[in-house]
Amino acid sequence: MFGRKTKNQNLNFVQIEILPSRKTKVVALAGNPNTGKSTIFNRLTGLKQHTGNWPGKTVSRAEGEFILNDEKFLLIDLPGTYSLLSTSEDEEIARDFILFGNPDATVIVCDASALERNLNLAFQIMQITNRCLLCINLIDEAKRKGIEIDKDVLEKELGIPVIFTNARSGEGIDELKEKIYAIANRIIKPNPRKIHLRKEIQEKVDKLKPLIEKAFPGIYSSEWIALRLLEGDKKIRAAVENGNLLEMINKGLENGNGELK
Amino acid sequence: MTKKLSELRKGEKAMIVRVNLNGLTRRRLFDLGFIPGTIVSVLFESPLGDPVAYLVRDTIIALRKDESEKIEVELIN
Ligand SMILES: Nc1nc2c(ncn2[C@@H]2O[C@H](COP(=O)(O)OP(=O)(O)OP(=O)(O)O)[C@@H](O)[C@H]2O)c(=O)[nH]1
Ligand SMILES: [Mg+2]
């Protein structure tokens, strides 16, 4: 489908580094809207991102630094998103960063009282990166409602570390830091449970993936792109066909870049 | 007997039976939690009746009639 232009692209396109220096490891906070991502961001960085339903809704990406065991990390607070597959416009910043920002660790922040709903996005993230962990936040609210969560079973079923937090009080934050450190430094290597595609779809994906990777060297999430093409996503298809995919991705990543605090 | 989600009134509860949409809109509704078998209820109706806020899988999601009339539900008492 995009064999024609491949040669040119190989000459013209170099994967632009998204963050100026990747000597600093990057950690992303992803999750459904209003699950406490910015509150966790503030806890880890000591900064004061706006939080709360109003006017705290995060609309652009915020960045801050934090230090763990003498190592500096760059933390990215993303706007809330329900999905990486069917995105509304205000979710695109988060989607693009999760897919193409190649973070060293992705913290999937969930609302303990709506776990089933939150796991939809969790599975989509687990599909594209192994370096992730589940942070079940608002654990105080869930306890108040009498909701009990079996952490060991979840860890076993999902294949990634699970941590309970109350970002307001700070409960669980130290454990979260430890796990972030271990994953970003490849000390822990999570083995997330993957969704198996139907055989006929998997075969198509397997054909498309190498073509995408050849046309756009160094691209991340080629399986996701293949699936978008198979689903008929017009934007992605146009970007692949005219060779602008990397430009589109990098532009998206730049647009999402809020003030560096 | 099924009815449209858009016909559900405030305080009523129903189970989603079918989502009669295709492509990205269908995917979007699934991602928002409107999956067959899920229980939904009406929380608030805007003054003009569109959009309507639903409680679905422990979260409030507002839908426009364009979408809610494509979702088939079964009333639950
Ligand atoms: N009780 C309780 N409240 C919390 C906890 N974490 C966050 N909150 C509150 O939940 C609300 C939303 O928190 P945010 O940090 O803004 O959520 P967010 O995920 O960044 O929201 P978006 O950026 O809009 O997706 C705020 O009022 C927080 O104070 C928690 O663990 N327990
Ligand atoms: Mg936020």
Most confident of A5-14, A82-91, A199-208: A199-208
Among candidates A74, A73, A179, which has minimal Cα distance to A135?
A179
Question: Please, what is the average pLDDT of chain A?
Answer: 85
Lowest-pLDDT range of A84-88, A152-156, A220-224: A84-88
Please report which confidence band the pLDDT of residue A239 belongs to, taking 50, 70 and 90 as the band edges: confident
pTM of the model: 0.87
Q: What is the pLDDT of residues A42-52, one digit of tens each?
A: 999 987 766 55
- Confidence at residue A236, expressed as pLDDT on a 0 to 100 scale: 85
- Confidence at residue A19, expressed as pLDDT on a 0 to 100 scale: 46
3 state SS for chain B: CCEEHHHCCCCCEEEEEEECCCHHHHHHHHHCCCCCCCEEEEEEECCCCCCEEEEECCEEEEECHHHHCCEEEEEEC
Fold of A6-194: Rossmann fold (3.40.50)
Is the model more confident about A55 or about A76? A76
- Confidence at residue B24, expressed as pLDDT on a 0 to 100 scale: 83
Report all structural domains of chain B as residue ranges with CATH numbers, in order of start.
2-76 (2.30.30.90)
- A74 DSSP assignment: E
- Confidence at residue A261, expressed as pLDDT on a 0 to 100 scale: 35
**Ion ligand 2 neighbours, Cβ < 5 Å:** A 37-38, 58
Ligand 1 nearest atom to the CA of residue A78, by list position: 23
Residue A232 has pLDDT above 90, yes or no: no
Residue A7 has pLDDT above 50, yes or no: no
- List CB contacts (< 8 A) between B28 and chain A: 83, 86, 88
Residue A23 has pLDDT above 70, yes or no: yes
Cα of B67 to nearest chain A Cα, Å = 15
Residue B6 has pLDDT above 90, yes or no: yes
Residue A9 has pLDDT above 60, yes or no: no
Q: What is the pLDDT of residues A30-43, one digit of tens each?
A: 999 999 999 999 99
**Looking at chain B, which residue has its C-alpha nearest residue A86?**
B28
* Rounded (10°) CA dihedral A189, A177, A18, A50: 140
Q: What percent of chain B has pLDDT over 70?
A: 100
- Confidence at residue A49, expressed as pLDDT on a 0 to 100 scale: 66
- The answer to whether B33 contacts A117, with C-beta atoms less than 8 Å apart, is yes
Q: Where are the domains of chain A?
A: 6-194, 199-250
Residue A1 has pLDDT above 50, yes or no: no
Q: Determine contact: B32 vs chain A, CB below 8 A.
A: yes
- Confidence at residue A53, expressed as pLDDT on a 0 to 100 scale: 47
Residues with CB under 6 A from ligand 1: A 33-39, 51-52, 56-58, 79-80, 137-138, 140-141, 166-168
Please report which confidence band the pLDDT of residue A89 belongs to, taking 50, 70 and 90 as the band edges: confident
- The answer to whether A83 contacts B23, with C-beta atoms less than 8 Å apart, is no
